[in-house]
């Protein structure tokens, strides 16, 4: 099945289309029946998700320019062709005498060809299939330039002036001229004859390398080629378009001084290769053990994907460079099986009619596609990789579940990662500045080298010196502590308690608050519903009492469903809970460590209700120690009340959305600022985060949407907020 360059139609099977759309597109969160959807007034509309089934792979960059336009080119996720020119290799096209595996290729041309062909169609067809990065390897052989891989030669690349025979570069150049809105990056690597005469002072190798660059520039037209004096890997797609540049040439030999000849130092890559043995040595080993055949594709594919997964989760690329992730299999590992199969089945053996390497690549790509459409659909690729380089880029086939793979599906799945989905459970933070603007929402760094922190319940508080402290459960159910220092550096995640206590806490609700003396106080609800308290001193040590039970009015350990805490100006804290019966209760822990003798007091409900019952709650204190309490009632709406130092409560009010409707929500958090104002966050009925401000005089602004990573609404399951010095607030969400 081939769909190289047409607008990719909807699948004939509605079931297949639905399955792929669910797997790849960013789906909207449905609104529950009867829910009021808040009006989004504070954030610009999010860019649309990239629908892989609607992509025109010939011009996908132009098609999704509203998504990638202002993004640096090295953050645009694009498919790439590994050994793009290898499609022209056969066992009769010859050998590149200067290549590293020339000896093996001359001795065993069929085996060499079988493991060197990584693409099946000409480079223009690879471009039509979405590739925007070409791994181009050229060999100068007999005065002519050919593509090559390992040892075997491929097709003629530059025109042969002696015969007038046209090379493949002419079609590539024409494609580039016909697609001025598509930026193609070419990584050029050449293999040329050594200097013929040691007494000759000419550097003929340098001249040959420069010749390849000059011929490429002449064929494409240097007007199309990006000038490194004006553009860089961090220049945006729109900046490349404004400069009229749609080709980036990365030259391994830095052969000329032309501005359009970029040194390859502008790029770094992470190989999926897991072996570096010499092909010739491996080939010799094969014939010693011809009957010892391994499950080659499982070995190769599994190791390659494991290595790529490590890169995507722990290995951030240089933000100033292009970054290439190799999604291809390691042909060196294929040699033993390739040789065995070829010898056993005849020297022209082609499983399923494919050269051996393409046969292996197809099997690997099916596994790779499952990752790209699934786990890797999250933010890893777009965060630290922009080129995903693969073999057999326009293959067809079937997924593991039997559904059809079209020839452009690999490319489309990679391109869809330009609107990545933050993995559910990832902790994402953003600041609201004093002028009302928001910093870019970003995932918090992970523990043990991971790029992101994912887990369960979390809490945040701001310290008097501007630090932000965090408590959170990881996916391992352990409790961790971290600090984002005022200077922007991170302490790193540290375990807080023992394995035994972690099992007792079991991921229960968390709350934390700071006091003016620099103390951090934390509360947790354990697996039995017990409310426990701990204290971290200003010097960073934890109180020896550990996590001690907080007493209820009957002198038993307080049973709670949810908890929030805030610091007061005298270094005491107020603790707010929903008790086991669901009633809202309040008490105080004094600065000397004693708890209020009056015990826990229930707070009145809305209307004539004597007690407030609800689903979530949050408490903060303004500089005059007036308490601001936000809660979600049993009706699902956001409510607010205040309580002064004398213990007098205001009536419950209802912050509203722009159309004066109640704010329906599943999570709420409130934080006070030094000017007496407060800010409130809520996770709305649509699963997105909304923000409002309460002025010091009690007036509320309408709720507005908060923008998350990649310009989309900040989707969340839970939200926490802390007030920072200087009129800023820090928002922490658990990504939906």
Please indicate, yes or no, whether residues 399 and 442 belong to a single structural domain of this protein.
no
Query: Using CA atoms in the order 516, 518, 519, 524, what is the torsion angle rounded to 10 degrees?
Result: 90
Instruction: Give the pLDDT band (50/70/90) at residue 30.
Output: very low
Report the pLDDT value the prediction gives residue 349, as an integer from 0 to 100. 65
Report the pLDDT value the prediction gives residue 335, as an integer from 0 to 100. 55
Average pLDDT over residues 436-465: 93
Average pLDDT over residues 241-254: 97
> Picking from 284-293, 658-667, 676-685, which range would have the lowest pLDDT averaged per residue?
284-293
DSSP conformation class of 676: S
pLDDT (tens digit, 9 = 90+) per residue, 96-137?
Answer: 999 988 998 998 888 888 889 999 999 999 999 999 999 999
Task: For the beta carbon of residue 17, count every other beta carbon within 10 angstroms.
Answer: 14
Burial class (CB in 10 A: 0-12, 13-18, 19+), 34: exposed
pTM (whole model) above 0.85: no
User: Sheet of 531-536: strands edge to edge?
Assistant: 510-514, 520-525, 531-536, 548-549
Structure tokens at 230: 């004006």
pLDDT at residue 686 above 80? Answer: yes
pLDDT at residue 697 above 60? Answer: yes
Residue 571 falls inside a structural domain: yes
The answer to whether 363 and 308 are in contact (CB under 8 A) is no
Last residue of a domain, one of 377, 395, 418: 418
pLDDT (tens digit, 9 = 90+) per residue, 611-643?
Answer: 999 999 999 999 999 999 999 999 999 999 999
Please indicate, yes or no, whether residues 190 and 228 belong to a single structural domain of this protein.
yes
Report the pLDDT value the prediction gives residue 318, as an integer from 0 to 100. 87
Residue 62 falls inside a structural domain: no
Please indicate, yes or no, whether residues 329 and 472 belong to a single structural domain of this protein.
no
Report the pLDDT value the prediction gives residue 328, as an integer from 0 to 100. 81
Last residue of a domain, one of 390, 418, 446: 418
pLDDT (tens digit, 9 = 90+) per residue, 40-87?
Answer: 333 334 445 788 999 999 999 999 999 999 999 999 999 999 999 999
> Picking from 206-220, 326-340, 589-603, which range would have the lowest pLDDT averaged per residue?
326-340
Q: DSSP readout, 138-187?
A: EEEETTEEEEESSSBEEEE-S-BTTTTBPPTHHHHHHHHHH-TTS-EEEE
Nearest CA among 266, 290, 285, 265 for reference residue 275: 285
> Picking from 8-12, 47-51, 178-182, which range would have the lowest pLDDT averaged per residue?
8-12
Average pLDDT over residues 599-610: 96
How far apart CA 322 and CA 448 sit, in angstroms, is 26
Number of folded domains in the chain? 2
Instruction: Give the pLDDT band (50/70/90) at residue 659.
Output: confident
Instruction: Give the pLDDT band (50/70/90) at residue 353.
Output: confident
pLDDT at residue 256 above 70? Answer: yes
Instruction: Give the pLDDT band (50/70/90) at residue 299.
Output: low
Report the pLDDT value the prediction gives residue 39, as an integer from 0 to 100. 33
Average pLDDT over residues 389-402: 92
Please indicate, yes or no, whether residues 314 and 445 belong to a single structural domain of this protein.
no
> Picking from 28-37, 357-366, 394-403, 652-661, which range would have the lowest pLDDT averaged per residue?
28-37
Please indicate, yes or no, whether residues 278 and 163 belong to a single structural domain of this protein.
yes
Quote the percentage of the chain above a pLDDT of 70.
86
Please indicate, yes or no, whether residues 534 and 642 belong to a single structural domain of this protein.
yes
Report the pLDDT value the prediction gives residue 357, as an integer from 0 to 100. 85
Phi then psi for residue 572, to 5 deg, are -90, 175
Residue 31 falls inside a structural domain: no
The single residue listed with the structure tokens 């020119």 is 85
Burial class (CB in 10 A: 0-12, 13-18, 19+), 51: middle
Q: DSSP readout, 409-474?
A: HHHHHHHGGGSPBPPTTBEEEEEE-TTS-BPPPEEPP-STT-SS-BEEEEEEEE-TTS-EEEEEEE
pLDDT at residue 282 above 70? Answer: no
Instruction: Give the pLDDT band (50/70/90) at residue 1.
Output: very low
pLDDT (tens digit, 9 = 90+) per residue, 546-563?
Answer: 999 999 999 999 999 999
> Picking from 47-51, 498-502, 582-586, which range would have the lowest pLDDT averaged per residue?
47-51
Report the pLDDT value the prediction gives residue 201, as an integer from 0 to 100. 67
pLDDT top residue among 402 and 276: 402
Please indicate, yes or no, whether residues 408 and 486 belong to a single structural domain of this protein.
no
How far apart CA 421 and CA 439 sit, in angstroms, is 19
* 3-class secondary-structure state, position 627: strand
* 3-class secondary-structure state, position 572: coil
Residue 561 falls inside a structural domain: yes
Please indicate, yes or no, whether residues 439 and 408 belong to a single structural domain of this protein.
no
How far apart CA 691 and CA 684 sit, in angstroms, is 10
Residue 114 falls inside a structural domain: yes
Residue 633 falls inside a structural domain: yes
Please indicate, yes or no, whether residues 439 and 347 belong to a single structural domain of this protein.
no
Cα radius of gyration (the chain): 31
Q: Which of 112-121, 350-359, 447-456, 460-469 has the highest mean pLDDT?
A: 460-469
Average pLDDT for the chain: 87
Q: Which domain holds residue 500?
A: 427-735
Instruction: Give the pLDDT band (50/70/90) at residue 375.
Output: confident
Last residue of a domain, one of 353, 386, 418: 418
Please indicate, yes or no, whether residues 108 and 231 belong to a single structural domain of this protein.
yes
Report the pLDDT value the prediction gives residue 584, as an integer from 0 to 100. 98
CA distances from 650 to 478, 573, 618, 686, 694 (A): 40, 20, 16, 30, 15
CATH number at residue 143: 3.20.20.190
How far apart CA 490 and CA 482 sit, in angstroms, is 7
Residue 175 falls inside a structural domain: yes
pLDDT (tens digit, 9 = 90+) per residue, 518-538?
Answer: 999 999 999 999 999 999 999
Report the pLDDT value the prediction gives residue 8, as an integer from 0 to 100. 39
pLDDT (tens digit, 9 = 90+) per residue, 201-218?
Answer: 678 999 999 999 999 999
Nearest CA among 328, 410, 313 for reference residue 369: 410
Please indicate, yes or no, whether residues 444 and 358 belong to a single structural domain of this protein.
no
Please indicate, yes or no, whether residues 411 and 448 belong to a single structural domain of this protein.
no
Residue 440 falls inside a structural domain: yes
Report the pLDDT value the prediction gives residue 346, as an integer from 0 to 100. 59
């Amino acid at each position: 099945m081939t769909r190289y360059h047409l607008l990719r139609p909807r699948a004939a099977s509605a079931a297949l289309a639905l399955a792929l759309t669910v797997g790849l597109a960013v789906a909207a969160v449905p609104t529950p029946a009867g829910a009021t959807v808040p009006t989004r007034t504070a954030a610009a509309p999010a860019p649309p998700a990239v629908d892989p089934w609607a992509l025109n792979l010939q011009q996908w960059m132009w098609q999704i320019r509203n998504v990638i336009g202002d993004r640096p080119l090295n953050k645009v996720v694009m498919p790439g062709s590994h050994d793009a020119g290898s499609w022209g290799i056969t066992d009769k096209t010859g050998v590149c005498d200067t290549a590293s595996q020339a000896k093996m290729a001359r001795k065993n041309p069929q085996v060499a060809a079988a493991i060197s062909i990584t693409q099946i169609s000409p480079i223009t067809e690879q471009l039509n299939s979405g590739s925007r990065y070409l791994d181009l390897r050229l060999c100068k052989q007999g005065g002519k330039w050919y593509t090559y891989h390992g040892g075997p030669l491929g097709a003629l690349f530059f025109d042969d002036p002696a015969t007038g025979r046209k090379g493949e570069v002419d079609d590539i150049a024409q494609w580039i001229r016909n697609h001025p809105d598509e930026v193609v990056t070419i990584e050029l690597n050449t293999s040329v004859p050594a200097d013929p005469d040691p007494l000759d002072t000419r550097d003929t190798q340098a001249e040959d390398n420069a010749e390849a660059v000059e011929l490429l520039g002449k064929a494409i037209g240097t007007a199309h080629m990006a000038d490194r004096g004006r553009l860089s890997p961090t220049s945006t797609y729109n900046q490349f378009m404004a400069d009229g540049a749609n080709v980036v040439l990365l030259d391994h030999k830095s052969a000329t001084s032309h501005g359009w000849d970029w040194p390859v130092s502008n790029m770094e890559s992470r190989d999926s290769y897991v072996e570096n043995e010499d092909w010739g040595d491996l080939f010799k080993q094969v014939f010693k053990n011809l009957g010892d055949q391994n499950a080659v594709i499982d070995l190769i594919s599994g190791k390659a994907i494991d290595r790529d997964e490590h890169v995507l989760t722990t290995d951030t690329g240089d933000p100033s460079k292009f970054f290439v992730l190799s999604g291809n299999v390691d042909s060196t590992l294929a040699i033993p099986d390739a040789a065995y199969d070829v010898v056993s089945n005849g020297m022209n053996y082609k499983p399923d009619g494919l050269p051996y390497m393409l046969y292996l690549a197809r099997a690997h790509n099916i596994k790779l596609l499952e990752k790209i459409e699934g786990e890797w659909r999250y933010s890893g690729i777009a965060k630290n990789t922009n080129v995903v380089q693969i073999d057999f880029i326009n293959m067809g086939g079937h997924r593991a579940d039997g559904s059809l793979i079209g020839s452009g599906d690999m490319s489309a799945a990679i391109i869809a990662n330009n609107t990545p989905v933050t993995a559910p459970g990832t902790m994402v933070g953003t600041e609201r500045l004093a002028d009302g603007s928001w910093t870019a929402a970003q995932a918090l760094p992970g523990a043990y080298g991971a790029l992101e922190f994912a887990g369960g319940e979390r809490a945040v508080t701001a310290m008097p010196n501007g630090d932000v402290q965090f408590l959170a459960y990881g996916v391992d159910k352990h409790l961790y502590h971290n600090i984002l220092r005022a200077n922007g550096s991170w302490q790193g995640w540290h375990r807080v308690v023992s394995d035994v206590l972690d099992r007792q806490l079991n991921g229960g609700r968390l709350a934390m608050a700071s006091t003016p003396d620099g103390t951090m106080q934390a509360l947790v609800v354990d697996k039995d519903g017990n409310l426990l308290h701990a204290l971290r001193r200003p010097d960073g040590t934890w109180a020896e009492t550990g996590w001690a039970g907080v007493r209820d009015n009957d002198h038993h350990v307080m049973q709670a469903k949810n908890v929030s805490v805030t610091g007061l100006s005298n270094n005491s804290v107020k603790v707010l809970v929903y008790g086991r019966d669901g009633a809202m209760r309040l008490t105080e822990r004094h600065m000397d460590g004693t708890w209020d003798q009056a015990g826990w007091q229930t707070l009145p409900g809305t209307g004539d209700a004597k007690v407030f019952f609800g689903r979530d709650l949050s408490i903060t204190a303004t500089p005059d120690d007036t308490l601001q309490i936000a809660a979600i009632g049993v009706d699902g709406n956001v409510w607010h009340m205040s309580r002064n130092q004398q213990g007098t409560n205001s009536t419950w009010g209802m912050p509203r959305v722009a159309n004066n409707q109640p704010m329906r929500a599943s999570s709420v958090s409130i934080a006070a600022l030094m000017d007496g104002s407060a800010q409130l966050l809520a996770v709305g009925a649509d699963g997105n985060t909304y923000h409002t401000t309460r002025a010091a005089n009690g007036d509320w602004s309408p709720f507005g949407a908060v923008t998350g990573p990649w310009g989309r609404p900040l989707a969340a399951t839970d939200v926490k907020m802390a007030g920072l010095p200087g009129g800023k607030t820090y928002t922490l969400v658990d990504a939906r």
